[in-house]
Amino acid sequence: MAELVDLRSDTVTRPTAAMREAMAQAEVGDDVYGEDPSINALESELAAMFGHAAAVFVPSGTMGNLVGLRLLCEPGDELLCDADAHIVTYEAGAAAVYGGIQTRTMVMARGLLTADVVEPQIRAAGYHAVATRGLSVEQTHNRGGGAVYPLAVLKELRALADAHSLRIHCDGARIWNAHIASGVDLDEYGALFDTLSVSLSKGLGAPVGSVILMKEPDREAAARELRHRLGGAMRQAGVLAAAGRYALTHHLTRLADDHRRARQLAEGIAAAAPDVVDVHAVETNMVVLDLTNAPVDTAGLDEACRGQGVLISALGLRRVRLVTHLDIDDEGVERAIGAITTTLRGE
């Protein structure tokens, strides 16, 4: 049987031969002593890229988000975010359990906050009130189908945050996709956030790693202490940094290919089943299918596709997510369109 077409996530990629070679050649040292040259290079390159004062390598985006949120909020503080945010949906309650952070969530179209919805949720100060301290945005938005925050909306949120002394965290696991899709420079995004977590192991295709960035230099020591407390301080992690640095050089601009293939996937499905997918909603590397009026539900489509070597992921009982990435080529897109459309036509 032909190789699987795995559209479940952009995390399923495996390092290429050239990336493995870069990992094998990496200079390493003990990063707990601050002596891993590859980690140090990656951290300073990323800080410069986003115009931030410091960057700290962490094993996962989940840890990056927790460290970032704890730099903004103390236990007992409140964080405003959208109800579909990764930090409240997919991180096993980390902000609550390890951060003591109370989240207040808002249901937003495609997961994107707007200043007019956020403003009335900011609490007035008072000894018996919870202190609203932070705001978190997700760029691109995962459960929002890879939606990109328009720069103007982010600027309004920044102005609102400044007016109320709130700080902003960006869960930028896929900020790379936003940058490629919108053409907005990474440092322009960086300027809007106090802390920013970026992933090397999503679309960029590195096997492991995220980086937490911070605008204020005096937060770095706290970030390193938090990482250590969480068990995220590693030793010769330069082999991982080398994969990340390779990815930043070789896999960033190619994200445009993933975006093109996601559109082709959506168009191919829409040609057979127009009410299942909104082609115009495809902004980056994700396609969301709405099976409300389809002859199968998510489980049915999953099973039928699996039988044809195509893997998809569930967002709900009748909502499906398809993600393009480094290991999906044009032939894979065609095979996926074939498997999905034959199932939707009831063939």
Ligand X SMILES: *Cc1c(COP(=O)(O)O)cnc(C)c1O
Alpha carbon distance 116, 137 (integer Å) = 15
Nearer to ligand X (CB atom), residue 40 or residue 65: 65
Residue 140 CB, nearest approach to ligand X (Å): 8
CA 53 to CA 218: how far, in whole Å? Answer: 9
Is residue 103 within 8 A of residue 88, CB to CB? The reply is yes
Residue 60 touching ligand X (CB under 6 A): yes
Q: Which tokens go with 10? A: 């952009």
Among 31, 36, 78, 138, binds ligand X (CB under 6 A): 138
Q: What's the min distance (Å) between Cβ of 127 and ligand X?
A: 35
CB atoms < 10 A from the CB of 282, how many? 25
Residue 80 pairs with which residues in a beta bridge? 104, 135
Integer distance in angstroms from the first to the last C-alpha of the chain?
A: 21
Q: Which of residues 162-181 bind ligand X (CB under 6 A)?
A: 171, 173
Report the distance separating Cα 5 and Cα 261, nearest Å. Answer: 13
Binding residue (CB under 6 A) for ligand X from 38, 40, 182, 210: 210
Query: Cβ closer to ligand X: 40 or 284?
Result: 284
Of the two residues 105 and 341, which places its CB atom closer to ligand X in the complex? 105
Contact flag: residue 40 with ligand X (CB under 6 A): no
In the complex with ligand X, the residue whose CB is nearer, 111 or 332, is 111
* Strand ordering across the sheet containing 102-106: 54-58, 210-214, 195-199, 167-172, 132-138, 78-82, 102-106
Residues 224-283 that bind ligand X (CB under 6 A): none
Question: Is residue 325 at the binding interface for ligand X, with CB under 6 A as the rule?
Answer: no
- CB–CB of 265/278 below 8 Å? no
CA distance 305 to 256: 26
**Nearest-CB residue to ligand X?**
61
CB of 92 vs ligand X, minimal distance in Å:
10
Compare residues 62 and 132 and give the one whose CB is closer to ligand X: 62
Q: Name which of 307 and 316 has its Cβ closer to ligand X.
A: 316
The site map against ligand X for 66-85 (x = CB under 6 A) is --------------------
Candidate segments 58-66, 99-107, 252-260, 268-276, binder of ligand X by CB under 6 A: 58-66
Distant-in-sequence, close-in-space partners of 158: CB < 8 Å, separation ≥ 6: 168, 192
Q: Are 181 and 150 in contact (CB under 8 A)?
A: no
Contacts to ligand X by CB under 6 A? 60-62, 65, 86, 138, 142, 171, 173, 199, 201-202, 210
